[in-house]
Amino acid sequence: MSRRYSLRMFLLLAVFFSTKILALAQADPIERLWYNEEKTAKIQIYKATDGRFYGKVVWLKEPNRDGKPKTDINNPDEARRNDPEMGLPVLKKFKKDGENGYEDGTVYDPLNGKTYSCKMTLKGDELHVRGYIGFSLIGRTATWTKAN
């Protein structure tokens, strides 16, 4: 009887700890694919080993320009203008702020080559990405939607 009890306790503890591990491993709600506001790109948001959130372009509606893969032609660093837009990091170093907020990051706009301070807010199936210079009151919010 003590052997049967020990086996049950072991199984119970194994189930308990595996449930805890799975709960810790669950992805954050923003860790997924998002369409930008114009639906011309999909951005994959992921949590890096530094515990912060990043996003990179993984799909473009029009991946080519003049028959060749698009590059980051508006980058202010001339050496980076031949970097492909596919895989381009556009969100960097966001930390979670409360239940649905993300702050202290930057967003890069490949259309003009500028990087802005940024905060994001998750609202249901929408991610509100607010880029700004200086104060968040002076900026623009783009609404991204979940992509499948």
- Domain ranges for the chain: 27-146
41 contacts 35 by C-beta, under 8 angstroms: yes
Considering the domain 27-146, what is its CATH architecture?
A: Beta Barrel (2.40)
Residues 6+ apart with CB under 8 A from 104: 93, 94, 95, 119
Return the higher-pLDDT residue of 134 and 29: 29
Write the pLDDT tens digit of every residue in 21-37. Answer: 444 457 999 999 999 99
Taking only the tens place, the pLDDT of each residue in 51-98 is 999 999 999 999 999 999 999 999 999 999 999 999 999 999 999 999
